[in-house]
Structure 1
Amino acid sequence: MQLPSYDIYEVGRLNMFGLEPTSDSRPTPDLTGAIAATGALISEQYRSAAGALDCYDDATAGASAHIVKDVGGALHALPKLIEDATSRASTRGESPFRVVMMGRTTAGKSTLLEFLSHGDGNRIGDGRQRYSRDVCARLLPELPGVTLVDVPGVGAADGQVDFDIAFGVIPESDLVMWVGASDSPQEETTRALRILGAHGKPVVLVLNCREDLHHRAKRADFLEGTGRTFADANDHLDLLTRELASAGGRPVAAVAIHARAAFESLQDTRESEALRRQSRIQSLIELLLVQQIKTSAQRRIFSRVDALRMPALEAQGILASCAASLAARQSEYVELARDLDRRMIKALEQKGDSMVADAKDIARRRRSWHLSVDPRSKVERVWENERDTMVDELQALMDEWATEMAELLDAVREQTVRDHDALPAPDLSIGDLPGFGSAYANHLARLGVGLGEALAGGAIFTAAVTAGAQGAIIGAPGGPLGIVAGALVGTLASVALAFAIQPLKDSIDKVFRGSDYVLNKRRDQLRRSLGGALDKAEAVFEARAAALVAQFKSALATLTSDHALQQQSLQSVSDLWSACGARVNDSIGDLDTATAKAVLHECGRVRNSEQVRAAARAPGFGIAIEMTEVGYAELALYPPRNSIEAIAATPPRLPAFPAGVAGHALAALEPRARLVKLNAHEASYAVSAGTSVARGLLDLLEELCGRFTRSSVSIVQLTDSSEGTA
């Protein structure tokens, strides 16, 4: 008597968690609705981000308009990009299992296509690069329900257009078949494989081992099956696998074939059977058949989702780059404004000190004037002439100072901009600040700073100046120069006034003391009067110079305030873009959650699909899923064996300790990682030095776990020297 066979795995799950509900009794997760809703939300966020650009114009935003529009110019295209991607994802439907065949140019892709589609060989090249430059899709007679798509090869000289065409087909593929050749891979092979790894599409590596079948001896050797043709195949496939892994990709499988032998086997000759057998093409056909039968339903879920998800992530990267670039430009703008303000104030103070020193020198030369004048002459008339000459010199000094100050401030501005332009630019995809120097100069001109005529006209110096002991005049003719001249004339007139009332006293003294005494006395009086007047004149000039410097500083403060408003404006745009990016990230998380539910349902885990709380996915690698307590227990103990992407179940996250579930995800995705450090929002893990794991895979794990837990997660590969100290 034969006993019935039982699946011990399923029996254990049945005993612990009960019968699985049938798919018919529970509604299928609405993936189409989730795609449409996610696409609409993301498109709206990018439309909002792009709308910030329309609020800026040169008249109201000044330099910040240039910065925002320069940095965010790419945002206008994002809403349409997402809408088109949503449309493609929503209409993917029940199309055939779609395999895209890629590879470097002249690798033999078209030959393989002609065999698999039983073609006549019209796409087979003649050895020239860029022979097949279009996209060709064909059904496969030996694989019903499979469409094979041939795209232009990558790696040809001047072949960027072909490269773009080839990768433009990737989002709508269910499986990618990379065809390499047994000669050394080109540089573009590495680049293309890394991009494929970043896309997360499932990849089958196919190595076309070349052997000249036209050479009689080599053909005979090949047909005998000596294996010489495939002797180095594993080494080449290992190299391709490492290149793919460098970006976090892992091939579904890797096979070696002889494409030309397979194609020639289609000819009705006595060697057909041997050619097909020795080409090893049957291993590839069986591999594709298994992928179609066992994975097509799940692949269809992922290809539909990724048709929206990948463009959304690319667009999110553009938005994040714009926000980071704007923040960097804002920081540069702030530092430039501060530096310019510091330099201008320093130059202004130095020039003011120099002006006062020159004015004192003019006054110093008059200190001995009394020795050169005859006290018996009409001193007041002589002094009036000297006074006018002195005032003219001081006015000329002020004129010269105003002109030099204007030139100096312009030179400081230009040198500051040059110094900042010479600094290394941030490593971000942004352009230079167009017209920054001219925009800044316009600000200065509007405030009357930086132009000689503005300085001389006194436009920024008309604030109220209280008349003091030196007789300063408000609004005197000639602007600030008139103010100084009027004050000095009033102050220095006291010398002439003193001599106007002196003659009567001199007559009395002359009667009693003699002419010499009177002459010496008058010289001494003249010295004292002149010294006091010049002291007051210096004080007046120094006060006026200080007032002018203060007015310059006030103008610069107004300019700084204007900069602060522009900086706040830049910050508001940066904050808006960052907020839009965060909401896009949440929407992608919602799409990942819907994907996890659909995949679990497709795997026959109807109950678990209803227990999903949140998810984050790394395409082609795995899905981290936050479950209910019961759902976590079931998935952790009995993970689905038919899932084509690894499923890492975690218990519900604790709001105060979100990083704690990172270990649960890593236990399923990379169990060799061990905990080094853990707190509420940070988790660090290490992989042993003896563990063979590509850095690209660790980067992918970091990104997945960090996004899933919304924490900082790091995974390091230990070296032999650090193994003992970790």
Structure 2
Amino acid sequence: MMILQNQPRIPGDERARQQFYGLDPQIETSLAALKARLIELARAVERALDRSAASLRSQLDSAEDVAIRDAVLAPLTDATHRVAEARRLLLGRDVDRPFRIVLMGRTMAGKSTLFEFLTGGDGASVGRGGQRTTRESHIGTVLGHDIEIVDTPGVGAMDGDADYAEAFSQVADSDLILWVATNEATQERTGRALEQLADYGKPILVALNCLRDVTDQLDLLDLLEEPDFVFGGDTLGNLKPIDRHLARAGGRYISAVMIHAQAALMSQSSDLTSDDASDIRLASRVGHLLTEIGVQKDRTADARRVASIGDFIRRELLDAASTTATVTKTVRMMLDTARGSLDDFVRRADRRVDDAHNELMAAFSVALSRRERWIERVDVSLSEAKINAAWASEMGLLKEEISADVDHAGRRLERDLNQIAFDVADDWSHLAVGEFQELGGRGAIWGNRLVKVGGRFATAVGTTVLGAKIGALAGTALGPGLGNAIGLVLGAIVGLLTGLLGLSRGIDWVSDKVFRSAADVRKRRRENVHDQLSPLLVQVNEQLAQAGEVVRATWQRAVEQEAARHSVRIDMLEQAERTLQHTMTMELEPVLAEVDTEIARDLLRIMGRGRAASALIRATRWRGAGIAVELPEPEFSELVLFPVPEDAERVLPTAASAVSSTSAIQLVRNLSDGVVTVREWTDLQVRVELTHPLALGAQEAWQALAWAHTGVRLSISEHIEGGAL
């Protein structure tokens, strides 16, 4: 066990830092250069996905595998198109545009009223209490500030899917989200929007808007004379649902300001005196909001712009990686299904072939028993020629019975094997094979998180899983080869029977003169018939036993040929899995790491840490946690001893010389505000205990960042003094 004291994260004295490490080179950040580099990386992802799709198309070239091919290629093609579209949009983006704020919130929360005030509007677009007044986004400029602001439709209206999509279409290009809330209950749809915003990782400022109508003079007087009474209510209680929904996705808001948007807009009326307008504006508390907006712009505009440009393309790249990871999972499911169902089919088929062979041999035995009884019952008083003719006829009937037995057994076997194939396919199509194992890197992890963002990917996952089940059913159904092979057995057995020795040979009478009576003659003749024909039946029995083994071997080969046919599909799926895994680990993940590294490098430059920016090896960003940076010495120690401000992103240094598990502990130490007790420390897993409670969602974010950056599984528990573990 090892106890680590909390890591102080307040920025160190700049003068002391310079004395220790010297002047930090000031390197200008070029947003145009960052944009160009991100476009280049997006193009690399497109090419990687195109190469992967081309390889998969050639690998899955069988006409029987159309469903499998479509299930694999459709999501990859869709992801490629989305990356290409994001790249084209980024290409046309003005990186020098003003700081951009996007207004969001539920319907009738007061967004349009606040927008009208901030942009100096006349209030014409403000609703009158009806649902969904704003149906499109509107862009304006905050009066007196170099800030763009976007008014979006509400996200909580009934039948408001189009409004919801329109509002979120503005998020990727924003630098700050201004969430307008009220003291009314947070609706479930509004809660989902908050969780989705947290998944985007955008900074959120909350404006808690008072809905008390002050158009009446008495109500307005109450606001001016007793503002606390008008605002009233449980402010903290109103913020708790927002806290909860954001925390579920590891997010949180920067700060919250209570305002009265209606009063603020009223203060701009030309009917008011300047003193009255000033009093109403002061009472609306909108000045506090403007101050907070100004602080965010002044302190974080450059960093937010870098993050906004990066996130514009980064989300689609992460989505593409997530798609690739899930397609790999689907192929793995198909592969598990193909292997398992084939093994299951062969096992059941072998058992059924054994049963069919036993049934056939039993039928042969019955047929021979009839001939044995014929020998005992034949009329020996007949002439030699007539007995021989009757024997030849009986042998003909034996051939027909044996042929019928073989044909009947073969057809039953074919029908039963087809039923076995159907049952196996049905059984395996219902099994959840190939659980989502770690595919390596951030793709798999981000895949789980991005499924929540927008929901389009969840549909793709369902489609590909359906493709796996289709593949299981098609992959186990019998082909024409098995039926043909079973049918050929009939011809083989007839040929064997035709060539049996002695079937055309009859009996030879021994002279009857030595016998004194007719009874003695009949007895002697019966003995001759038995002695001469019974050995022939023994020969027939031996030949039938051999024929039965030939039949069994033919049936077994038919099953093996069917297994070999499906082994080709297994080989094909294994090759497809290798292709996807290579695309994920060797092409997409390095690009994603490079995107995070480029963003981190520019953020460090903006924060005045040019030395660390130049030495940066790699970085991993995670919403709700921060950005982990890997640095060599002495840059690592410099960031530890003299942390950077957390105005935009929390920077978490890890040492390039440290092993992965040590880096994971460094991350926790920098993330935690309290004592960290290390309970377990291995190469693959670190288990720590904290003395302070974590916000909802923080634990997941910390663990995810540790895994994505170091590949080490981090387990976190809390031990609060005086509380339960």
For normalisation by structure 1, the TM-score amounts to: 0.87
2:601, 2:32 → 1: CA distance? 6
Cα pair 1:659 1:678 within 8 Å, conserved: yes
How far apart are 1:63 and its partner, in Å? 4.2
Aligned-residue identity in percent = 24
1:722, 1:120 → 2: CA distance? 56
Counterpart among 657, 663, 666 of residue 665 in structure 2: 663
Letter in 2 for 1:36: I
Residue matched to 2:83? 82
2:530, 2:619 → 1: CA distance? 95
How far apart are 1:621 and its partner, in Å? 3.9
Q: Give the gaps of 5 or more residues in structure 2.
A: 1-10, 437-460
How far apart are 1:116 and its partner, in Å? 0.8
Residue matched to 1:509? 514
1:542, 1:8 → 2: CA distance? 93
2:471, 2:632 → 1: CA distance? 56
Q: Secondary structure, in 3 states, of the residue corresponding to 1:37?
A: helix
Residue matched to 1:194? 195
- The equivalences for 1:227-266 within 5 A come to 227-228=228-229, 229-266=231-268
- The equivalences for 1:691-706 within 5 A come to 691-706=692-707
Residue matched to 2:16? 12
Cα pair 1:225 1:278 within 8 Å, conserved: no
Instruction: Summarize deviations over 1:70-101 as a string: whole Å, max 9, x none.
Output: 13312113333223323444544211101111
1:191, 1:375 → 2: CA distance? 98
How far apart are 1:639 and its partner, in Å? 1.0
Letter in 2 for 1:118: G
2:39, 2:408 → 1: CA distance? 71
Residue matched to 1:444? 479
How far apart are 1:480 and its partner, in Å? 2.3
Counterpart among 577, 584, 588 of residue 584 in structure 1: 588
Residue matched to 1:686? 689
Residue matched to 2:677? 674
Greater displacement, 322-331 / 371-380: 371-380
Instruction: Summarize deviations over 1:282-336 as a string: whole Å, max 9, x none.
Output: 1111111111111101111111111111111112111111111111122112212
Cα pair 2:207 2:258 within 8 Å, conserved: yes
Cα pair 2:359 2:409 within 8 Å, conserved: no
Q: Secondary structure, in 3 states, of the residue corresponding to 1:629?
A: coil
Residue matched to 1:464? none
2:534, 2:636 → 1: CA distance? 97
Cα pair 1:178 1:205 within 8 Å, conserved: yes
Letter in 2 for 1:331: D
1:630, 1:29 → 2: CA distance? 30
Q: Secondary structure, in 3 states, of the residue corresponding to 1:227?
A: helix
1:624, 1:604 → 2: CA distance? 17
Greater RCO structure (CA 8 Å; 6+ sep): 2
1:554, 1:482 → 2: CA distance? 19
1:212, 1:679 → 2: CA distance? 62
Cα pair 1:47 1:78 within 8 Å, conserved: no
Cα pair 1:246 1:694 within 8 Å, conserved: no
Cα pair 2:422 2:476 within 8 Å, conserved: no
Cα pair 2:337 2:472 within 8 Å, conserved: no
Letter in 1 for 2:479: L
Cα pair 1:302 1:595 within 8 Å, conserved: yes
Change in CA separation of 1:595 and 1:567 when aligned onto 2, cut-off 3 Å: same
Cα pair 2:341 2:472 within 8 Å, conserved: no
2:426, 2:30 → 1: CA distance? 66
Cα pair 1:133 1:162 within 8 Å, conserved: yes
Letter in 1 for 2:498: G
Residue matched to 1:605? 609
1:247, 1:226 → 2: CA distance? 35
1:721, 1:391 → 2: CA distance? 92
2:519, 2:626 → 1: CA distance? 114
For normalisation by structure 2, the TM-score amounts to: 0.87
Counterpart among 634, 639, 642 of residue 635 in structure 1: 639
Cα pair 2:80 2:320 within 8 Å, conserved: no
Residue matched to 1:315? 320
Letter in 2 for 1:76: T
Counterpart among 108, 118, 129 of residue 131 in structure 2: 129
Letter in 1 for 2:334: R
2:100, 2:154 → 1: CA distance? 18
Counterpart among 275, 295, 298 of residue 300 in structure 2: 295
1:168, 1:674 → 2: CA distance? 44
How far apart are 1:519 and its partner, in Å? 2.5
- The equivalences for 1:194-213 within 5 A come to 194-213=195-214
Change in CA separation of 1:684 and 1:239 when aligned onto 2, cut-off 3 Å: same
Residue correspondences, number: 678
Greater displacement, 206-215 / 426-435: 426-435
Letter in 1 for 2:466: D
Counterpart among 334, 348, 356 of residue 353 in structure 2: 348
Change in CA separation of 1:92 and 1:697 when aligned onto 2, cut-off 3 Å: farther
How far apart are 1:423 and its partner, in Å? 3.6
How far apart are 1:485 and its partner, in Å? 3.1
Change in CA separation of 1:400 and 1:19 when aligned onto 2, cut-off 3 Å: closer
How far apart are 1:442 and its partner, in Å? 7.2
2:389, 2:67 → 1: CA distance? 63
Residue matched to 1:480? 492
Change in CA separation of 1:62 and 1:696 when aligned onto 2, cut-off 3 Å: farther
Q: Are residue 160 (structure 1) and residue 168 (structure 2) matched?
A: no
Q: Give the gaps of 5 or more residues in structure 1.
A: 1-6, 462-477
Q: Are residue 222 (structure 1) and residue 223 (structure 2) matched?
A: yes
Q: Are residue 41 (structure 1) and residue 49 (structure 2) matched?
A: no
Letter in 2 for 1:553: Q
Q: Secondary structure, in 3 states, of the residue corresponding to 1:171?
A: coil
Q: Are residue 568 (structure 1) and residue 568 (structure 2) matched?
A: no
Residue matched to 2:402? 394
Cα pair 1:615 1:626 within 8 Å, conserved: yes
Residue matched to 2:547? 544
Cα pair 2:422 2:477 within 8 Å, conserved: no
Instruction: Summarize deviations over 1:159-188 as a string: whole Å, max 9, x none.
Output: 222222211221111111111221101101
Greater displacement, 713-722 / 560-569: 713-722
Counterpart among 385, 396, 406 of residue 393 in structure 2: 385
Change in CA separation of 1:642 and 1:422 when aligned onto 2, cut-off 3 Å: closer
Change in CA separation of 1:370 and 1:559 when aligned onto 2, cut-off 3 Å: closer
How far apart are 1:589 and its partner, in Å? 1.1
Q: Are residue 593 (structure 1) and residue 614 (structure 2) matched?
A: no
How far apart are 1:669 and its partner, in Å? 1.8
1:214, 1:119 → 2: CA distance? 18
How far apart are 1:374 and its partner, in Å? 2.1
Q: Secondary structure, in 3 states, of the residue corresponding to 2:617?
A: strand
Q: Are residue 455 (structure 1) and residue 486 (structure 2) matched?
A: yes
Counterpart among 403, 408, 418 of residue 410 in structure 1: 418
Change in CA separation of 1:28 and 1:630 when aligned onto 2, cut-off 3 Å: farther
2:156, 2:210 → 1: CA distance? 19
Q: Secondary structure, in 3 states, of the residue corresponding to 1:367?
A: helix
Q: Secondary structure, in 3 states, of the residue corresponding to 1:195?
A: helix
Instruction: Summarize deviations over 1:330-380 as a string: whole Å, max 9, x none.
Output: 211221222122222222221221121122112112222233222231321
Change in CA separation of 1:335 and 1:658 when aligned onto 2, cut-off 3 Å: same
How far apart are 1:636 and its partner, in Å? 0.5
Cα pair 1:375 1:519 within 8 Å, conserved: yes
Cα pair 1:85 1:307 within 8 Å, conserved: yes
Cα pair 1:222 1:278 within 8 Å, conserved: yes
Q: Secondary structure, in 3 states, of the residue corresponding to 1:366?
A: helix
Q: Secondary structure, in 3 states, of the residue corresponding to 1:207?
A: strand
Cα pair 2:181 2:207 within 8 Å, conserved: yes
Letter in 2 for 1:589: A
Instruction: Summarize deviations over 1:425-447 as a string: whole Å, max 9, x none.
Output: 878532424765884587521x1
Instruction: Summarize deviations over 1:224-269 as a string: whole Å, max 9, x none.
Output: 2241323212211132122111101121111121211211121132
Cα pair 1:492 1:534 within 8 Å, conserved: no
1:721, 1:350 → 2: CA distance? 70
